[in-house]
Amino acid sequence: MRILLTLFFIAVLPGYCLATLYTYVDDHGIRHYTNVPSDKRAVLVESKTNWAQSKPKTQPLSIKKSLQRQAKRRSTSEVGIEEYILRASSEHRVDPLLIKAIIKTESNFNQFAVSSHGAQGYMQLMPGTAKDLQVSDPFDAYQNISGGTRYFRNMLDNFRGDLQLSLAAYNAGPGRVSRFGRIPRIPETVDYVRKVIRHYRAYQEGNIASTSINVRQLVTIN
C-alpha cells in the first residue's frame, strides 16, 4: 500500500513534497519504489525536497550563448574558409595555396584542433603568439587564418623569402632558425617543412581539392 500511494502522488502531483525516494528490483525482476528503504538492495533515486525540482532544467543562458557562438563559428568556417584564405592572402601578400598547405599540415582543416603543446585552431597558433597578433579568439576561423598568415608573412620577411627557413621558423620558432642559419635538426620540424612543401606543390598542380581555390598567385615562392 505504501508503494502504491507513493507512485500515486508521484504520478498525479508533480509538486508533491518528497524527502527521499528509493528503488530496488526484487527476485522476480520487478522494480519497486518506496520512501522507506526496508530492503537492503534499495538505492536512493530522489533526495530533493520538492519533486518538481528534479525536472530537467533549461541550460543557463551563458552556456546557451557559448554553444550558439560555437555553432555559428563552425557554420561560418564551412561556408567561408576559402574566402578567409583569399582575404588573408591579399592582406598579407602570401600565396593562398601556400596558406592552404600550412593549414593542411597544421590542423588538416580542423577549426577547433588543439595540439599537445597547446597550439590552437586552423594554423595552430600558440596562446602567446595569438596574443601578440591580437587574435582574441584563436578558434574564430578568420582571426586564426589572418593571424597565422600575418605571422608567416613576418617569417618570410625575416628570412628574405626563403620558404624552407620561413616554414621552419613557423614551426620551431624564428630564434632557433636564426641561431643556426638553417633548418634545425629537429625531426618534427624537418618533417613539417617537407609536408608543407609537398602539399603546396600538390595544390599548385591541382592534385588536392579540399577547397576550390584557383586564383592567380599573389606571391610566387620557389
Q: Which residues are catalytic?
A: 106
CB 43 within 8 A of CB 23: yes
Q: How many whole angstroms separate alpha carbon 99 and alpha carbon 79? A: 17
User: What does 133-165 look like in DSSP terms, one character per residue?
Assistant: TT-S-TTSHHHHHHHHHHHHHHHHHHTTT-HHH
| Phi and psi, residue 147, nearest 5° | -65, -45
**Residue for cell digits 519504489?**
33
Q: Is 155 exposed, middle or buried (0-12, 13-18, 19+ CB in 10 A)?
A: buried
